[in-house]
A and B are shown apart, each in its own frame.
Chain A
Amino acid sequence: MIKLETFLIVSAILFSLGIYIIIARKNVIAILMGVELILNAASLNFVAFNKYSVPTSFSGQMFSVFIIVLAACEAVVAFAIVMSMYKNFKDINADSATTMKE
């Protein structure tokens, strides 16, 4: 039961749900959560392929470490942008952000 296909299927489901969230949601924070789901799917794929194809090297896990750190950076910048958007447009609906500069 614990084999490569199971991990890949979990990762495919997480990826598709992330794409769905990005397309369907209006709330900017919800879209950010969709991006986090997609990054998790990619990182799970890296680790699974590392375990099942080249188990003696740890390069796949290194990629996952970098993905996690980049996701943290992205979340911080996105939070700053959300705050600035809330101050300017009075809500965080992705449709209401029509201008980049006043």
Chain B
Amino acid sequence: MSITLIDIFFSMSVALTIASALYTAFSSNILRSAFGLLFTLLGVALLYLFLNAGFLAALQIMLYAGGIMVIVIFAIFFTREILTTKISNPRKETLYSLLLLMISMVTLIMIIFKTDWVENNQLIGSDIRSIGQLLLNEYLIAFEMISLLILLVLIGSVSIARKAFKEAERRKLYD
């Protein structure tokens, strides 16, 4: 069995994903943790490319790496003084949580190895065309519902944040 270039690229993306996820979990600086998460998301996007899901890879990079990570990093800078981020990510009860991590990981991997999966290697068509057709036929109601949900989230988050700021202003005047 020879190792092709695709195999090397694939194992590099797997290594990138797992290493940066480990860095996210064990770094004591929350900003470094966030950048580890960013590279985990990029690694998952690379893995999507191997699964014939180019559209999902693009969506992952645009929404996760571009949108959610900006929100997370903005939240970090908003709630901490930048100079104190070094000690900003404390952990507790490390022994029990490490034990739980080991148990869940080992159990899942054992189950994965014990099951004999049926693999069905058929040729697949274009994913973007099929996703577009599915969105407007089979999943039309879910699609509309999710747009409604986004509207709700927009209104709800603005109202939560505004209430907090009003409360803080009032307290400042009172003091």
Contacts and interface: CB of A to CB of B under 8 A. Distances in A.
Contact of A5 (B80, B112, B165): B112
B113 interface: yes
Interface residues of B, number: 91
B164 A88 contact: yes
Given A6-B14, A19-B101, A55-B120, A25 B75 contact: no
Contacts of B134: 58-59, 62
Interface string B156-173: 111011011101100000
Contacts of B164: 83-84, 87-88
Interface string A12-26: 111111011101111
Is chain A's binding surface mostly helix, strand, loop or mixed?
helix
A95 to B, nearest CB: 9
A10 B72 contact: no
Given A33-B33, A36-B68, A80-B156, A44 B119 contact: no
Contact of A54 (B56, B120, B121): B120
A61 B40 contact: no
A56 B122 contact: yes
Contacts of A97: none
A73 B124 contact: no
Contacts of B71: 75-76, 79
B6 to A, nearest CB: 7
Contacts of B50: 2
Interface of A: 1-10, 12-17, 19-21, 23-27, 29-30, 32-34, 36-37, 40, 43-44, 47-48, 50-56, 58-59, 61-62, 64-66, 68-73, 75-77, 79-84, 86-88, 91-92
Q: Which 3 pairs from chain A and chain B are nearest by CB?
A: A84-B164, A80-B157, A12-B108
Interface of B: 3, 6-7, 10-11, 14, 17-18, 21-22, 24-25, 30, 33-34, 37, 40-41, 44, 47-48, 50-53, 55-56, 59-60, 63-64, 67-68, 71-72, 74-76, 78-80, 88-94, 96-98, 100-101, 104-105, 108-109, 112-113, 117-125, 127, 130-131, 134-135, 138-139, 142, 146, 149-150, 153-154, 156-158, 160-161, 163-165, 167-168
